Amino acid sequence: MIKKALEVALNDQINAEFHSAYLYLSMSSYYNSIGLAGFANWMRIQYQEELAHATRFFDYVNERGGRVRLSPIKEVMVEFSGPVNVFEETLAHEQLVTSLINKLMDISIQESDHATKSFLQWFIDEQVEEEANVEQILNNLKLIKGEGQGLLMMDREMKTRVFVDPFAAIKP
């Protein structure tokens, strides 16, 4: 049985993951609206990944005998000042998510919940990768000033990203 403090914190994380999904779907819509289908695709894949993360947290709470309590998702940004701004916001958001996951780990350590520590390790490692990927894209966008042929080349590259369920191997 999961301890109450962790159940509450994990429920907050489920909401945060759904918020992330909603944010990335909003960013995908923005990119579609300015004719960058590849960037829209990249954000759509981010949306799918965040849904998978939310579902994995959801399943974990249930597996541990806790109760998932879904709450409203706060409003997300819908307007951006350009492709660079979207990835600046994305990096800031991923850094926030990293801090949330770290806080969950702190609670699991405080509660001596080794199962949750083990569960969270995947997400900690994932956040290192997420931040590095987003930072690389942001740096590339800044190099080309978010415009011109470089932007179109990046857009083509972003179109090739496909969703791979990160938890396919561990699902029953």
pLDDT digit string, tens, across residues 109-165: 999 999 999 999 999 999 999 999 999 999 999 999 999 999 999 999 999 999 998
User: Residue 165: inside a domain, yes or no?
Assistant: no
Task: Phi first, then psi: give them for residue 153, nearest 5 degrees.
Answer: -65, -45
Q: For position 172, what pLDDT does the model report?
A: 55
CB 110 within 8 A of CB 54: no
Spatial separation of the C-alpha atoms in residues 48 and 12, rounded to whole Å: 19
Q: What is the CATH number of the domain that holds 38?
A: 1.20.1260.10
Spatial separation of the C-alpha atoms in residues 89 and 91, rounded to whole Å: 5
Q: Which helix (H) or strand (E) holds 4?
A: helix 4-33
Parent domain of 62? 4-158
Determine how many CB atoms are found less than 10 A away from the CB of residue 67: 9
DSSP 8-class letter at 90: H
Q: What angle do CA 29, 34, 35 make, to 5 degrees?
A: 95
Determine how many CB atoms are found less than 10 A away from the CB of residue 54: 20
Tokens of 118: 């083990």
- Using one digit for the tens of pLDDT, what is the confidence trace for 82-108? 999 999 999 999 999 999 999 999 999
- Using one digit for the tens of pLDDT, what is the confidence trace for 18-71? 999 999 999 999 999 999 999 999 999 999 999 999 999 999 999 999 999 999
User: Residue 97: inside a domain, yes or no?
Assistant: yes
Number of domains in the chain: 1
Q: Tell me if residue 58 falls in helix, strand or coil.
A: helix
